[in-house]
A and B are shown apart, each in its own frame.
Chain A
Amino acid sequence: MKTILYIDLDKCLGCKTCELQCAVEHSQSKYLFQAIKEEPLAQARVKVEASGDLAVPLQCRHCEDAPCVKICPTKALEKLGAGEPVVLKEDLCIGCKWCVLVCPFGVLNVNREGKAIIKCDLCLERLEKGEEPACVEACPTKALKLLSPEEVAKLKKKEFLVGFQKDGKIIKG
């Protein structure tokens, strides 16, 4: 399964469209003009953070050996299987926030009401329909992609080889 949210840092312009469309996807109506009138307002599971000159969209990395799953005392967080997303069963969450503390990336947070956590579900509903996650589909520069580990590995190899050829000056033509 494709579970790596790949971020091309050169392409992210920081427009926050991913945030907006994430909130729309997690609203009741899933329709922007309605969603902004709903009570409670939907929340985005992705956040674009600034890091120097770079803008980086951050959301759950869906770790294979996820510290949040391990520490969750009520089994509200669950890894659906190898290569599958980490999902939250909101009714089991007691809001202890241990997961927020142990997440190495700081991508978990409490929701607007403050009673449970909120996290990226990789748009499971959309994936089941064969669609991409809302943030990926919405990204106007395609800075966000959903790829399999193999695809990412291949991309990285290519990047490495291009750099290798440039620096080693073995480019022909």
Chain B
Amino acid sequence: MREEEKSIDKASQEILEIAKKEGIDTAWDRYEAMVPQCGFGELGLCCRNCLLGPCRIDPFEEGPQKGVCGATAEIIAARNLIRMIAGGASAHSDHGRDIAHTLLLTAQGKTKSYGVKDEEKLLSLARELGIRTNGRDKKEIAIEVAEKVFSEFGQQHGELQFSHRAPEKRQALWRKLGIVPRGIDREIVEVMHRTTMGVDNDCENLITHGMRTALGDGWGGSMIATELSDVLFGTPKPIRAKVNLGVLKEDEVNLVVHGHEPTLSDVIVTASQDPELIELARKNGAKGINLAGICCTANEILMRHGIPIAGNFLQQELAIATGAVDLMLVDVQCIMPALSSVAKCFHTKLVSTSPKAKFPGTEHIEFKEEEALPIAKKIVRMAVENFKNRVKEKVNIPGEKMDLVGGFTAESVFKFLGGKYRTTYRPLNDAIISGRLRGAAGIVGCNNPKIKHDWGHVEMAKELIKNDVLVVVTGCSAIANAKAGLLKPEAAFQYAGKGLREICEAVGVPPVLHVGSCVDNSRILITLCNVVAEGGLGDDISDLPVAGAAPEWMSEKAVSISFYFVASGVFTVLGNPFPVLGSREVTKLLTKRLEEIVGANFAFESDPIKAAHLMIEHIDRKREALKLKPVMYESKEKVAV
């Protein structure tokens, strides 16, 4: 694979060239060495759930068609898929649990490193959770909110509190199907039970429980993570920042945070601004301390502090390969084990911090919320002291960096659409009803060397906004689109269709809106609820002219996310198919029959332009069903495709 075939991003191409020269292995090299990947695994036909096996089904029907226990392709593929959901839902939910823990410690006064930054949100959450707020101390309320939220994880019966935010009709459907999540952890455990040897053998029954588990993520763990992060660290507001490897600085200490949870990255922001440490940096010959981020922990501190982003998932190794990173700090999720070997080629110190995630050959400084700020300062100090070890000849910082506006939320952005003085969703709904906007779409998820880096995200976003579809992005998709310049308000002039351009111009927002990290996909759910509640676009999420996509997904978290969107009624296109194609029945269930069951289904399409048109066609069908006016500025190009 040539460097320009690996990524559309110039900065990444540049560092990939250097990595090649220096003989540094990257994910792309390792992927090439792995091809062809195991076909049984790709098709979901390998079962390792008990020691009768491992078993695999021959998709060409010459070899075994049943595992030793008798499990068919249908059973094996469905079991494997919902175990992926369990993995993804666990990751988001454990993240949410950690944030709840931090809120509790903060309210109990056991840590001084955090505070309640959004009191209004704390109070409104308290009211929603049935906690008395009148005349009570803020700390008392926060303790009760944290405890109530904690109980949602281990709840054995009833319904998750935030599931009641969904439109009435959706809740009724979930109840009818028996998929309202009871407790976040409970549904995950039940996945493991159902998929262990000799339990659930009906692929539809398995997938149905998979949806329940995923809903426990979207309307549970992830939503808790988002809401409580807003309480602790502040609800984001539109903010300007910069993105791409070019944000690293030659004359400053570069500290890169990588991972997911804001509990650590947010205090690192504070620590990196400590005058004493900045002075120490100067003494060490640096002009200052430059903090940058990778993956979702980057999105968290971008949204709230405007901290620059160095790159997305596939750029984690490349950031180190610039030779300019003095310290990379990691917590949990999406951190490649390969980082320790790349770091060894440079002066970069790699520091792991979570008791849940250790890396052999890497310094481990355990993070504790109780001593968050002192620990953060210690790590920043390490970065500062490592600056002098930087080898000048090995430093290659690409010139690429791009401006962006981020920090949009369900509370802020859509209310802006009508201007500052009309804070309702009415203008957004009206824009869709009048046909100025065709609809809206969410592009989320990871990078994957199977698809040219960023190409899937960026081409899809361009095609959608060209067709007057407002796009919201999270996670690594947000970073990809930011690097391509689509998160600048000016992008509307260059790329958006006339209707969307008019709105962006009037309100001053970009045509692609950054709504946060991967747990912040819950912001999209809330936005959809608000649009339904505003009225005029049907009475369920599945009525809305909206669609979702994960064009470059790789993580189990993306499986869980896409499942909670589909189970909430949002048609979702995936770049790479789920590993289920070995089962015709499961494939048909996911790509066709789910629409009859939950009002939305999946589609698999690796070409981002074709995928965008699947979304547009879906949006048009929904517009037709709602008997909306034709799209105001239907482009001829769209018809031609």
Residues of A within 8 A of B (CB): 15-17, 19-21, 23-24, 32-33, 35-36, 41-44, 112, 137-138, 140
A20 and B40 within 8 A (CB): yes
Tell me which residues across on chain B come within 8 A of A35, comparing CB atoms. Answer: 60
In the complex with contacts A24-B39, A140-B38, A33-B63 CB distance below 8 A: no
Complex: A35 Cα to B38 Cα, angstroms: 15
Complex: A89 Cα to B24 Cα, angstroms: 48
Complex: A110 Cα to B40 Cα, angstroms: 25
Complex: A42 Cα to B61 Cα, angstroms: 9
Tell me which residues across on chain B come within 8 A of A21, comparing CB atoms. Answer: 36, 39
SS of B interface (majority): loop
Complex: A140 Cα to B577 Cα, angstroms: 23
B60 and A44 within 8 A (CB): yes
Contact of A36 among B38, B56, B59, B63 (CB under 8 A): B59
Interface hits, B44-72 → A, CB 8 Å: 56, 58-63
In the complex with contacts A32-B43, A36-B581, A36-B582, A42-B60 CB distance below 8 A: yes
Tell me which residues across on chain B come within 8 A of A43, comparing CB atoms. Answer: 60, 62
Task: Pull 13 A–B residue pairs with CB atoms less than 8 Å apart, ordered by A.
Answer: A15-B40, A16-B40, A17-B39, A19-B63, A20-B40, A21-B39, A33-B43, A33-B577, A36-B582, A41-B61, A42-B60, A43-B62, A138-B36
Contact count band on B = 10 to 19
Complex: A119 Cα to B65 Cα, angstroms: 23
In the complex with contacts A32-B43, A33-B581, A15-B38 CB distance below 8 A: yes
Tell me which residues across on chain B come within 8 A of A16, comparing CB atoms. Answer: 40, 56, 58, 63
Q: Say yes or no for B42: interface residue by CB 8 A criterion.
A: yes
Complex: A138 Cα to B58 Cα, angstroms: 16
Tell me which residues across on chain B come within 8 A of A138, comparing CB atoms. Answer: 36
In the complex with contacts A21-B36, A138-B36, A32-B42 CB distance below 8 A: yes
Contact of A20 among B39, B61, B577 (CB under 8 A): B39
Contact of B60 among A15, A20, A137 (CB under 8 A): A20
Tell me which residues across on chain B come within 8 A of A33, comparing CB atoms. Answer: 42-43, 577, 581
Tell me which residues across on chain A come within 8 A of B60, comparing CB atoms. Answer: 20, 23, 35-36, 41-44
Tell me which residues across on chain A come within 8 A of B59, comparing CB atoms. Answer: 20, 36
6 smallest CB-CB distances across A and B, nearest first, come from A20-B39, A36-B59, A23-B60, A138-B36, A41-B60, A32-B39
Contact of B62 among A15, A24, A36, A44 (CB under 8 A): A44
Give min CB distance, A24 to chain B, whole Å: 7
Complex: A17 Cα to B63 Cα, angstroms: 12
Tell me which residues across on chain A come within 8 A of B582, comparing CB atoms. Answer: 36
